[in-house]
A and B are shown apart, each in its own frame.
Chain A
Amino acid sequence: MGINVGITGLHATDNPAPGIGVIRSLKHPDGWDGEIIGLAYDVMDTGIYDEDLLDHSYMIPYPNTNSQQILERLLYIHDQNRMDVIIPTLDSELALFQKLEPDLKKAGIAIFIPEVDVSKKVSKVYIADFCEENNIDSPTTRIIKEPGELDKSIKEIGFPLMVKGVFYEAFKCRTKVEVLTHFDEMRTKWGYPIILQEVIEAEEYDICCVGDRDGNMLGAVPIRKTRLTDKGKAWAAITLKNDKLYDLSKKILKALKWAGPCELEILQDKKTKKMHLIEINPRFPAWIYLCTGADQNLPKMVVDLALGKKVDPLPVAKSGVTFVRHATDLVCPIEWLEKLTTIGELHY
């Protein structure tokens, strides 16, 4: 009997969610022995119109909805199409799935994600403290919880600086007027706290890693983004072989005893060559299929980990593998939209 996997994050526009890359990895190279079940938040989540990727799609309530309602919906789906594993792929889902994990487990649905206290340590608000405690370089950061703290923090950091929302978005600011503008935008959009961070003249690297919860790094693929969209998202990238990045990733995952996938954002200072940890995203990156192309199929690894199988660390990923994102059109019958809109499910 094959393993059925439910996957979220299926909206792939110019700021794509990772779900599609996760599915392509599971199906690489010869298809997946089991069903792939798409869990979509919106009828226009683009990936649910790709019948080559999915066996079934179901609409689910947004992560900020009452968790009991989401659980009931997931259990309904599980009843219709058994889900052995769910791979959540969005930042905003982590807290929800952490909360639902015991109930899902009871129902026979496995997930492999970090514990609440672990993910909290590396949230944008606490990551600077984590770095300090573990002797990991990071840019000077101030967490602003009320407007009164802004002036002092600007003076301490100096210009240019980054203004970051607690969940999404970051803007580079060169003047106080710019800071105030983006600060207000963030406050309205995401609320407090708002993060101010030193800008380092640096090369940016990203690493997709998987941790086994015992402090071991089982896979890691470092990349350099070679083309960015206007939102700063990778449109092309290349895999690297870089011992410093590899060792730093290992150190971070060990310190956290991280469970499951994550994406580390690292800046290497152009002058000092120091590696600064900027962010840890608690999920696969949208470019996850590149890892598969570099001989590390990390989504398959996460399915095995979720199912409690013994997983050995993978050999070092192949360097010099590149990807270029390519937008295409999916043509589909109106009945698909109708079914997703009216009954909230689609079976291809």
Chain B
Amino acid sequence: MSGIFNSEVTISDSGFLFDHGTGLTYSLNETGQFIFTKMKEEVHANKMLELIMEEFDINEETARKDIDDFYRQLKEAGLID
């Protein structure tokens, strides 16, 4: 286990994500990479929202949607519970 992830998960600078437990790989876009990196740093959800709004210059509603979408995809992929 690696923090909130179900197994060790690493990401390259280009956004290529590798799940060491299952061998599956994923390509993350810029937003996904940003959220993933903050998740690894165990940044709190409220802080994450704030950071995304600032980084991508978007409103709260869009930022929240981006986070929700990303978490949903991670769950579907079995990377988090």
**Residues in chain A within 8 A of chain B (CB atoms):** 203, 223-224, 226, 237-242, 319-320
**Residues in chain B within 8 A of chain A (CB atoms):** 7-8, 10, 18, 20-24
Q: Would you call A241 and B8 a contact (CB within 8 A)?
A: yes
Q: Would you call A319 and B8 a contact (CB within 8 A)?
A: yes
Please measure, in the bound complex, the distance between the C-alpha atom of A276 and the C-alpha atom of B8, giving whole angstroms.
22
Distance from B14 Cβ to chain A, minimum over Cβ atoms (Å):
15
Q: Would you call A240 and B10 a contact (CB within 8 A)?
A: no
Distance from B16 Cβ to chain A, minimum over Cβ atoms (Å):
11
Closest to B25 in A: A238
Please measure, in the bound complex, the distance between the C-alpha atom of A223 and the C-alpha atom of B22, giving whole angstroms.
8
Q: Which residues of B contact A241 (CB under 8 A)?
A: 7-8, 20-21
Q: Would you call B22 and A224 a contact (CB within 8 A)?
A: yes
Please measure, in the bound complex, the distance between the C-alpha atom of A240 and the C-alpha atom of B8, giving whole angstroms.
10
Instruction: Find the residue from B18, B20, B23 having the highest chain A CB count within 10 A.
Output: B23
Tally the A-B contacts, defined by beta carbons under 8 Å: 26
Distance from B27 Cβ to chain A, minimum over Cβ atoms (Å):
15
Q: Would you call B21 and A242 a contact (CB within 8 A)?
A: yes
B7 in complex: contacting residue of A226, A238, A242, CB < 8 Å = A242
Please measure, in the bound complex, the distance between the C-alpha atom of A226 and the C-alpha atom of B23, giving whole angstroms.
8
Given contacts A240-B20, A240-B23, A320-B18, could you give 9 more A-B pairs where the C-beta distance is less than 8 Å? A224-B22, A224-B23, A237-B23, A238-B23, A241-B8, A241-B21, A242-B7, A242-B22, A319-B8
Q: Would you call B22 and A319 a contact (CB within 8 A)?
A: no
Closest to A245 in B: B21
Distance from A246 Cβ to chain B, minimum over Cβ atoms (Å):
11
Please measure, in the bound complex, the distance between the C-alpha atom of A239 and the C-alpha atom of B19, giving whole angstroms.
11
Please measure, in the bound complex, the distance between the C-alpha atom of A239 and the C-alpha atom of B22, giving whole angstroms.
9
Q: Which residues of A contact B21 (CB under 8 A)?
A: 240-242
Q: Would you call A320 and B22 a contact (CB within 8 A)?
A: no
Q: Would you call A203 and B20 a contact (CB within 8 A)?
A: no
Q: Which residues of A contact B23 (CB under 8 A)?
A: 223-224, 226, 237-240
Q: Which residues of A contact B20 (CB under 8 A)?
A: 240-242, 319-320
Closest to A223 in B: B23
Please measure, in the bound complex, the distance between the C-alpha atom of A320 and the C-alpha atom of B7, giving whole angstroms.
13
Distance from A45 Cβ to chain B, minimum over Cβ atoms (Å):
31
Closest to A224 in B: B23
Distance from B55 Cβ to chain A, minimum over Cβ atoms (Å):
28
Closest to B6 in A: A273
Q: Which residues of B contact A224 (CB under 8 A)?
A: 22-24
Q: Which residues of A contact B8 (CB under 8 A)?
A: 241, 319
Q: Which residues of B contact A223 (CB under 8 A)?
A: 23
Please measure, in the bound complex, the distance between the C-alpha atom of A191 and the C-alpha atom of B10, giving whole angstroms.
48
Q: Which residues of B contact A319 (CB under 8 A)?
A: 8, 20
Distance from B19 Cβ to chain A, minimum over Cβ atoms (Å):
9
Please measure, in the bound complex, the distance between the C-alpha atom of A223 and the C-alpha atom of B10, giving whole angstroms.
17
Q: Which residues of A contact B10 (CB under 8 A)?
A: 320
